[in-house]
Amino acid sequence: MNALGLHARSAVRIARVAQGARATVRVAHGNLEADATSVIDILTLACAVGETLEFTIADPEDYDILKALVNLVNDGFGEPQ
């Protein structure tokens, strides 16, 4: 959804949202998985334009965080398309 793929600015935005969670939030790309609160971990996923991210939450109470992450990605991280 983002013309630049997953890069530092988008990773920071993911981490900021995930840091509001009560429990663990993970993000995966292919067979790689990362702590969604860590910018460095997120960047190791090396997700290019058009590839898919998968978010998981450990606590159902964090559904609002999951929803916010999905919205963030679907909005192209707020960057120009």
Catalytic-labelled residue, pool 1, 3, 6, 7: 7
Q: Which residues lie across from 27 on neighbouring strands?
A: 34, 55
Closest CA to 42 of 65, 10, 77: 10
Tell me if residue 29 is catalytic: no
Amino acid at 19: Q
Percentages helix, strand, coil for the chain (3-state, rounded to 5) are: 40, 15, 40
Catalytic residues: 7
